[in-house]
């Protein structure tokens, strides 16, 4: 296969390892790509190269983990090969699974099976909450912990009835929930994120005709961030590429940071064995960061065992020393970082878009936001729960979901009394009792409220009014209709504007809330313009699968980025601040002291990889900070430096201590001075 060694135009300007990966012909290929080693470049060039060699775009599948990554990859490919880039399938595992599910289920009688909604974590929890009431459990369980176990079983293809015997409480409870949960999803015509991968994979494995359709279609499969695949995703890849074995996976075991949601680093460590014989290429030359940053990164990650041995090899100059700055407390830390950034911008050493502040957990963002605002520094927040978590937005989306799928009782319950129209828990209970007794979905009870409730019931007209609203909205939102106009009609129908106005004391709160509504309208309008065949169903699926990146693209370059370490993966900035370098934050408290409901004990090496990911985001300047004291549950506490920095040789970091001595010493000093004065 290596015989036809065309010096394609897509291998120019690549280093020898990159070129080897791009030129590799058929058969399994593992690309171990260190941070900043040109990984995305290799994938896009490889796709272009395949097309150059006559593979048609429709025959290529490239899977990523975020929609954003897929979008960027597509754009890069488009710049290289032009319009034919459109034919290539580039998407997330979940989007691929959704497409497969819709197409396969749509084959049935009039495509009824394809009429499902996608439940996000919030919906899943709401569903479990409902079940918890029915299952008569002795105490209140942490439903997130239950969900984590159910999710783990699903991804291991464990059926509801076959959960393994376990001695821990939560596994036993989850084993009771699991069958009920799965039945509930079925009844609600809903699928969760896990189903989007697990169900298509099961179809591929069990139905040869289905496998033929999909595996036969994609002659080449490429996977980005392979270290983040979970068991179900690996099985999906096996089903798709097991025959022709044209599977190219790219990743970095040192950047595996999603173990907590079922990803297994093992997959990338064992790929050579799983898909032997297999070509392996290691990309170690780093084009991103100055040498001092890479020295630090190498030293941090070297403390991890069980990894593909590799180092980041610098190609740039040494650069400035990496600083570790110690501040008095959390507020002082945020203030210091904000001042530094303000100075950088004022002296025009950087554009805002070239600067990022990274942290382990979202709650550290708050203080930073406050201080950056005080310094008038424009910023954007990556990843934090935001737009789609706003109440008004969720309520409106729930209305839309009910219109699309009236069987979605979770959404129905959410909006049946929103805005408040006098339908309380008692009425909802009567409706759902009737539904259960007659083995009907909840919406049937709503539809026939006249028969279900007594004639004199105060709530009856309210329920009928509610159903009228849903009916009108459903008619307005039919496929092919003006969706944004339909939503606008719904907003007016339920008097949402007055509701938002009345329920918010301050003008500012009202502004913010109403902005959520208008943003959603605008989003739907934009979707209507851009989608090929706009439909409510498709819009809702996109909304749930979209990564929470609510920025308007054009402004991004003009803002400083605040992001979690997870959210920063794959990105880079000239100047990076990592805050909260403390025991209990990085590594996180919960990996150090797992709580009873946690599934497995925390993985310290994953925390270290998280640290490594953060460090390797910096191109030119890197500053680490920590606070000597920090408020925890309202009380100030002394904080120890993160082991990830204290275990390193001193010469890698320039330590600057700006923390005042502890207050006791202060007091003693004062006392001493007073004594001196008295004595003198």
Partner DNA sequence: CGGGGTACTTTTTTT
Partner DNA sequence: AAGTACCCCG
Active site residue 603: no
Minimum CB–partner distance for residue 649 and DNA (Å): 27
Number of residues that bind DNA (CB under 7 A): 46
| Active-site choice (163, 255, 427, 623) | 255
72 makes contact with DNA (CB under 7 A): no
Residues with Cβ within 8 Å of 459's Cβ and at least 6 positions away in sequence, in order, are: 422, 423, 424, 427, 453
In the complex with DNA, the residue whose CB is nearer, 56 or 458, is 458
Q: Would you call 500 helix, strand, or coil by DSSP?
A: helix
Asked whether 271 and 237 are in contact (CB, 8 A), the reply is: no
Minimum CB–partner distance for residue 599 and DNA (Å): 9
Show the binding pattern over residues 347-376: x = contacts DNA (CB under 7 A), - = does not.
-------------xxxx-------------
Candidates 17-25, 330-338, 432-440, 590-598; binding stretch for DNA (CB under 7 A): 590-598
Candidates 44-52, 296-304, 323-331, 582-590; binding stretch for DNA (CB under 7 A): 582-590
| Active-site choice (102, 617, 630, 643) | 617
422 makes contact with DNA (CB under 7 A): yes
Minimum CB–partner distance for residue 241 and DNA (Å): 20
Residue 61's φ and ψ, nearest 5 degrees, are -120, 125
Asked whether 30 and 280 are in contact (CB, 8 A), the reply is: yes
Among the listed residues 365, 333, 340, 362, the one whose alpha carbon sits nearest the alpha carbon of residue 641: 333
Name 637's bridge partners.
630
Q: What count of Cα atoms within 13 Å lies in the side-chain half-sphere of residue 120?
A: 18
Residues with Cβ within 8 Å of 88's Cβ and at least 6 positions away in sequence, in order, are: 47, 51, 57, 58, 60, 61, 62, 74, 77
| Active-site choice (224, 228, 264, 582) | 224
634 makes contact with DNA (CB under 7 A): yes
Q: Which of residues 295-324 bind DNA (CB under 7 A)?
A: none
Minimum CB–partner distance for residue 256 and DNA (Å): 12
Among the listed residues 56, 58, 54, 1, the one whose alpha carbon sits nearest the alpha carbon of residue 24: 1
Residues with Cβ within 8 Å of 639's Cβ and at least 6 positions away in sequence, in order, are: 582, 583, 584, 626, 627, 628, 629, 630
With CB under 7 A as the contact rule, the residue among 598, 641, 648, 652 that binds DNA is 598
Q: Is 79 exposed, middle or buried (0-12, 13-18, 19+ CB in 10 A)?
A: exposed
Tokens at 487, concatenated: 């939503």
In the complex with DNA, the residue whose CB is nearer, 345 or 415, is 415
12, 81, 399, 619 from 516: Cα distances, Å: 48, 39, 15, 36
Candidates 108-116, 201-209, 417-425, 432-440; binding stretch for DNA (CB under 7 A): 417-425
20 makes contact with DNA (CB under 7 A): no
Q: CA dihedral defined by 335, 547, 71, 573, rounded to 10 degrees?
A: 10
331 makes contact with DNA (CB under 7 A): no
Active site residue 225: yes
Minimum CB–partner distance for residue 153 and DNA (Å): 15
Minimum CB–partner distance for residue 544 and DNA (Å): 8
Residues with Cβ within 8 Å of 31's Cβ and at least 6 positions away in sequence, in order, are: 21, 39, 42, 248, 249, 250, 251, 281, 282, 283
Active site residue 49: no
Candidates 373-381, 474-482, 575-583, 631-639; binding stretch for DNA (CB under 7 A): 631-639
Report residue 123 CA to chain centroid gap. 16
633 makes contact with DNA (CB under 7 A): yes
Show the binding pattern over residues 533-562: x = contacts DNA (CB under 7 A), - = does not.
------------x-xx--------------
Show the binding pattern over residues 87-126: x = contacts DNA (CB under 7 A), - = does not.
-----xxxx------------------------xx-----
Binding residues for DNA (CB under 7 A): 65-67, 92-95, 120-121, 140, 193, 257, 260-261, 360-363, 383, 417, 420-428, 458-459, 545, 547-548, 564, 566-567, 588-591, 598, 602, 631, 633-634
Catalytic positions, written as ranges:
39-40, 224-225, 255, 617
């Amino acid at each position: 296969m290596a015989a036809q060694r065309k010096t394609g135009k897509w291998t120019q300007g690549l280093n020898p390892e990159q070129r080897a990966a791009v030129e590799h012909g058929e058969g399994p290929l593992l690309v171990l790509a260190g941070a900043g080693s040109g990984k995305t470049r290799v994938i896009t060039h490889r796709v272009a190269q395949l097309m150059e060699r006559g593979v048609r775009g429709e025959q290529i599948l490239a899977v990523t983990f975020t929609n954003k990554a897929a979008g960027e990859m597509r754009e890069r490919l488009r710049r290289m090969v032009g319009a034919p880039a459109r034919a290539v399938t580039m998407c997330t595992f979940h989007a691929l699974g959704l497409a497969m599910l819709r197409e396969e289920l749509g084959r049935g009688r009039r495509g009824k099976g394809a009429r499902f909604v996608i439940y996000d974590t919030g919906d899943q929890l709401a569903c479990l909450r409902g079940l918890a009431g029915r299952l008569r459990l002795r105490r209140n369980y942490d439903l997130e912990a239950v969900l984590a176990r159910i999710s783990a079983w699903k991804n291991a293809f464990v059926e509801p009835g076959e959960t393994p015997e376990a001695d821990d409480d939560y596994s036993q409870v989850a084993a009771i929930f699991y069958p009920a949960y799965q039945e509930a999803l079925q009844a609600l015509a809903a699928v969760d994120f896990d189903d989007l991968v697990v169900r298509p994979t099961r179809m591929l494995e069990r139905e040869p005709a289905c496998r033929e359709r999909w595996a036969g279609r994609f002659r080449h499969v490429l996977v980005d961030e392979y270290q983040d695949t979970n068991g179900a995703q690996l099985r999906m890849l096996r089903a798709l590429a097991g025959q022709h074995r044209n599977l190219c996976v790219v990743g970095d075991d040192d950047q595996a940071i999603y173990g907590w949601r079922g990803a297994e680093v093992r997959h990338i460590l064992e790929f050579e064995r799983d898909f032997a014989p297999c070509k392996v290429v290691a990309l170690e030359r780093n084009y991103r960061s100055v040498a001092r940053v890479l020295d630090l990164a190498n030293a941090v990650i070297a403390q991890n065992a069980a990894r593909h041995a590799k180092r980041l090899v610098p190609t740039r100059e040494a650069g400035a020393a990496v600083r570790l700055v110690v501040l008095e407390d959390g507020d002082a830390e945020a203030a210091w970082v904000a001042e530094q950034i303000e100075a950088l911008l004022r002296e025009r050493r950087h554009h805002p878009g070239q600067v990022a502040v990274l942290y382990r957990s979202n709650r550290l963002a708050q203080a930073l936001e406050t201080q950056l605002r005080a310094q008038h520094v424009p910023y954007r927040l990556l990843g934090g729960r935001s737009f789609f978590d706003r109440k008004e937005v969720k309520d409106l989306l729930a209305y839309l979901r009910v219109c699309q799928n009236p069987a979605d009782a979770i959404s129905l319950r959410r909006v049946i009394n929103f805005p408040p129209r006098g339908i309380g828990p008692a009425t909802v209970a009567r409706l759902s009792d009737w539904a259960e007794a007659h083995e009907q979905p909840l919406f049937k009870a709503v539809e026939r409220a006249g028969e279900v409730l007594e004639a004199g019931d105060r709530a009856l007209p309210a329920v009928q009014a509610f159903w009228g609203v849903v009916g009108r909205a459903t008619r307005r939102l039919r496929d092919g209709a003006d969706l944004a106009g339909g939503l606008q009609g719904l907003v007016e129908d339920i008097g949402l504007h007055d509701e938002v106005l009345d329920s918010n004391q301050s003008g500012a709160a009202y502004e913010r809330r109403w902005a959520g509504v208008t943003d959603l309208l605008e989003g739907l309008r934009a979707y209507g313009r851009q989608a090929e065949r706009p439909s409510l169903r498709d819009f809702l699926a996109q909304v749930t699968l979209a990564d929470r990146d609510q920025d308007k693209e054009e402004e991004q370059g003009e803002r400083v980025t605040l992001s979690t370490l997870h959210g920063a993966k794959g990105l880079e900035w000239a100047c990076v601040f990592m805050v909260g370098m403390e025991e209990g934050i990085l590594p996180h408290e919960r990996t150090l002291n797992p709580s009873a409901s946690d599934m497995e004990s925390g993985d310290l090496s994953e925390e270290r990889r998280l640290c490594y990911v953060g460090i390797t985001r910096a191109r030119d300047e890197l500053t680490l900070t920590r606070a000597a004291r920090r408020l925890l549950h309202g009380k100030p506490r002394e904080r120890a430096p993160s082991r990830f920095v204290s275990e390193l040789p001193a010469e890698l970091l320039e330590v600057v201590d700006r923390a005042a001595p502890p207050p006791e010493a202060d007091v003693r000093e004062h006392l001493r001075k007073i004594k001196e004065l008295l004595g003198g």
